Amino acid sequence: TRYFAIVPAAGSGSRMGAEQPKQYLALCGKPLLWHAIAALAAVPRIAKVFVVLSPEDEWWESFDWSTFGTRLQVLRVGGATRAQSVSNGLSAVAGQVAAEDWMLVHDAARACLSVAQVDALIDTLAEDPVGGLLAVPVADTLKRADGAARVAATVARDGLWQAQTPQMFRHALLSRALAACPGVTDEAGAIEALGLAPRLVAADATNFKVTYPQDLALAAQILHARST
Ligand code: CTP
Ligand code: MG
């Protein structure tokens, strides 16, 4: 059994509101996407990192990816949704990945992923019958709103986790799950729809998804602190 990573990077970054898609915004001198790939490529057990771009992507070529060599392969098969991009990517690599190989699906926008977190995920799930994902227990008190921004109820946070990526499932199972359930917002959601229970692997909040402009400064701070 081998391990592969697949990084969906075919989004437009609409909430970021920048001119280019957020995966190409500069973070500590490199595009955001570079950091996400770097954390995965630095794990020797991961045989290869596939990155899924939009067929219309006109930004990729303007950056230098040579440091990753043949450990990185570009797939210009992105779709209309994240799930579709991942699904298309899984199909595109079917010739070089076996049914039982593990796929680690990781958002390009989670630029602060650490090698330690990837190792923890793989170590925990290597013998798992289902697979699973990095996640963090919810820390804040949660409110359910009525239609007018008033609190309708406080939601008990016991047992609630925030899903992150990487999410790690075997190639055949994940392909089948996403084909059956294309409306999901993460891989685990599609696996759950098959009646299976993905394992939650405790991560931390530094692996957050860069979504809004104010997230860039925090991401830079996290990466900077790690490099000193
Ligand atoms: N993604 C993708 N294909 C899509 C949509 C999203 O590969 N059709 C990727 C994004 O590039 C990102 C990850 O999925 O790495 C998580 O998505 P998100 O954070 O929502 O990014 P965007 O969809 O680009 O941002 P927004 O929702 O603000 O437009
Ligand atoms: Mg999106």
How confident is the model over 185-198, as pLDDT tens digits? Answer: 999 999 999 999 99
Query: Could you tell me the pLDDT band of residue 87, with boundaries at 50, 70 and 90?
Result: very high
Residue from 6, 7, 12, 164 to probe ligand 1 pocket by mutation (most atoms less than 8 Å from CB):
12
What average pLDDT score do residues 91-99 get? Answer: 98
Query: Residue 132: phi, psi to the nearest 5?
Result: 180, -160
User: What sign does the dihedral 217-218-220-224 (CA atoms) show?
Assistant: positive
Residue from 6, 52, 107 to probe ligand 1 pocket by mutation (most atoms less than 8 Å from CB):
107
Q: Is the pLDDT of residue 9 over 90?
A: yes
Q: Is the pLDDT of residue 47 over 80?
A: yes
Instruction: Give every CB contact of residue 147 below 8 A, 6+ residues apart in sequence.
Output: none
Is this prediction's pTM over 0.95?
A: yes
* β partners of residue 31: 26
Ligand nearest to the CA of 9: 1
Q: What is the pLDDT of residue 134?
A: 98
Locate 10 and state its tokens: 């075919």
Q: What is the pLDDT of residue 228?
A: 77
Q: What mean pLDDT is reported for the chain?
A: 97
Q: Whose CA is nearest to atom 15 of ligand 1?
A: 108
Q: Is the pLDDT of residue 49 over 90?
A: yes
Q: Which atom in ligand 1 lies closest to the alpha carbon of residue 12?
A: 24
Fold of 3-129+166-196+205-227: Spore Coat Polysaccharide Biosynthesis Protein SpsA; Chain A (3.90.550)
User: What sign does the dihedral 205-67-21-53 (CA atoms) show?
Assistant: negative
What average pLDDT score do residues 124-148 get? Answer: 97
Locate 21 and state its tokens: 């898609």
Q: What is the pLDDT of residue 57?
A: 98
Q: Is the pLDDT of residue 227 over 90?
A: no
* CA 1 / ligand 2 centre spacing (Å): 31
Map out the domains of the chain as residue ranges. 3-129+166-196+205-227
User: ipTM higher than 0.90?
Assistant: yes
Q: Is the pLDDT of residue 182 over 80?
A: yes
Residue 147 DSSP label: T
Q: Which atom in ligand 1 lies closest to the alpha carbon of residue 22?
A: 24
Q: Is the pLDDT of residue 43 over 80?
A: yes
Query: Could you tell me the pLDDT band of residue 24, with boundaries at 50, 70 and 90?
Result: very high
What average pLDDT score do residues 154-181 get? Answer: 97
Residue from 35, 51, 82, 211 to probe ligand 1 pocket by mutation (most atoms less than 8 Å from CB):
82
Q: What is the pLDDT of residue 177?
A: 98
Q: What is the pLDDT of residue 65?
A: 98
